[in-house]
Amino acid sequence: MNQQSQPQAKAGLFSGAIWRSAFRPFYLVGVIYGLGIMAIWIMATFGGINFPLADYTLALWHGHEMVFGFSGAVVAGFVLTALPGWAGTTEIDRGRLGLLVGLWFLGRLAIYSGGWMPPYMVMLLDCSLFLVAMIMVLPGLLRAENKYFLLLIPILLLLFAGNVVFHLALMDGDMGRASWGIRLGLMGIVAKFVLAGGFLTTVFTQNALKQKNLAELRHNLPLEYVSAISLGLFVYGAMADVSSILSAGLAFLAASVQFVRFLRWRTLSIRDEPLILVMHVSYLWFIAALILFGMAEFMPAISPNVWLHAFTVGALSMMMLSLITRVALRHTGRPLIPAKAMIGAFAMMFLAAIVRVAVTLGLLPGDWLPISALIWWVSFLLYLMFHGVFLLQPSLPRKA
């Protein structure tokens, strides 16, 4: 994912540093928006303020915007930044990048239109980012030598389809189906986590082991395909109307495959590399989430939502913090040394996940829930304070 310094752009609307690569605007707006969403949710849930949107329940709004607004922006920034380096596709920057960011903003504007915009227009604006992004990257992926990266298309497709289902369900007044649509979009993010996050964890771990003159970690392509197949089966079991036994079995199968994948990474050998260690820990959270999903299918004492919190707070948020920190440093020509405050942010996010899962399991009282949310909020705020500023600044000259 090396990005060489680029020549100075001509003056114009999209000539600033922020428009040179997709991670810059999407990580910036995504993190700022995520902080806003979480702040509103905390105040509406525990502060006694009235939730202002009549078209949505607080839970539906929170779930939708965390998946398609916050996470959607970060996923878009990640995919569009990674593809030029890994698959050799053309960089989407300047005007085309401005179009995609504008579509994201229009989607948020549509969500908060308060009924003055027709429902189909709301759906069109809110779903367009993922569709247009697919159209932009597909020709380059079809020409790429390594077809493995075509697996990123189903990720964008799941986000697009889940959002469409959500809006159509709202038009019909079917809140259950709207929740299903959010869950479908979340499965796209799960797929991105396994295919992209797991792939990059392998690569970054391999590079770290080389620098330590340790035995090389070879890329096991058959295992990667088995991992993708087990993920697809898990998504099928989680979303389709199948028996609890089958759904649980597919979750346990996926957990077993991911654990085999994890064991190859030799975590103890890179324990002094915080950016990589956090990726390892986040993957353990994902494996735990799969196990909790399976257990909830036949153990009534376990909430069916506990796996969701283990994934979103433990696995996804920790992986996000690691990758957006790495990209903000690496792709702006800075050393891969996170600020000391970010080490604290990683530890805080781990604590937030522990508390959130413990509350859902009934191991801690509900009074701890706002504490978990606040810790999550502070963790991303630290990123914005210490590394978010790099997203606005020109890249430093990169040594050969």
How do residues 232-255 score in pLDDT, each as one tens digit?
Answer: 999 999 999 999 999 999 999 999
Q: According to the model, what pLDDT value does residue 399 have?
A: 60
CA–CA separation, 92 and 23 (whole Å): 10
Q: What is the pLDDT of residues 13-64, one digit of tens each?
A: 888 899 999 999 999 999 999 999 999 999 998 877 887 777 788 999 999 9
Position 4 pLDDT exceeds 50:
no
Chain mean pLDDT for the chain: 92
Q: According to the model, what pLDDT value does residue 236 have?
A: 96
Q: Name which of 216-225, 317-326, 388-397 the model is least confident about.
A: 216-225
Q: What is the pLDDT of residues 72-109, one digit of tens each?
A: 999 999 999 988 888 888 899 999 999 999 999 999 99
Residues 340-359 have a mean pLDDT of 97
CA–CA separation, 279 and 51 (whole Å): 35
Neighbours of 337 (CB within 10 A): 10
Residues 360-379 have a mean pLDDT of 95
Pair 349, 313: CB distance under 8 Å: yes
Position 363 pLDDT exceeds 80:
yes
The answer for residues whose C-beta is within 8 angstroms of residue 226's C-beta and 6 or more apart is: 257
Confidence of residue 398 (pLDDT cuts 50, 70, 90): low
**Residue entry with tokens 């190859």:** 264
Residues 114-119 have a mean pLDDT of 86
Q: According to the model, what pLDDT value does residue 152 have?
A: 87
Q: According to the model, what pLDDT value does residue 13 have?
A: 84
Pair 392, 18: CB distance under 8 Å: yes
- Contacts from 303-312 at CB under 8 Å and sequence distance 24+? 303/360, 303/361, 305/360, 306/357, 306/360, 306/361, 308/186, 309/353, 309/356, 309/357, 309/360, 310/285, 310/353, 310/357, 311/190, 311/193, 311/285, 311/286, 312/66, 312/186
Q: What is the pLDDT of residues 168-179, one digit of tens each?
A: 999 999 999 999
Residues 351-374 have a mean pLDDT of 96
Residues 264-284 have a mean pLDDT of 95
Encoded tokens for 120: 């189909």
Q: According to the model, what pLDDT value does residue 375 have?
A: 98
pTM summary value: 0.92
- Torsion, Cα of 225, 144, 190, 81 (10° steps): 140
CA–CA separation, 39 and 381 (whole Å): 11
Between 196 and 392, the higher pLDDT residue: 392
Neighbours of 380 (CB within 10 A): 24
Alpha helices in the chain (DSSP H): 23-46, 58-64, 72-86, 94-111, 119-143, 152-172, 175-192, 198-211, 221-239, 244-263, 274-298, 306-309, 317-330, 340-360, 369-386
Confidence of residue 9 (pLDDT cuts 50, 70, 90): very low
Q: According to the model, what pLDDT value does residue 15 have?
A: 82
Distances (CA, A) of 40 to 32, 51, 57, 65, 387: 13, 8, 13, 12, 24
| Furthest C-alpha separation in the chain | 62
| Rg, the chain, Cα only | 20
Residues 122-151 have a mean pLDDT of 91
Position 146 pLDDT exceeds 60:
yes
Residues 327-336 have a mean pLDDT of 93
Tell me if residue 24 falls in helix, strand or coil. helix
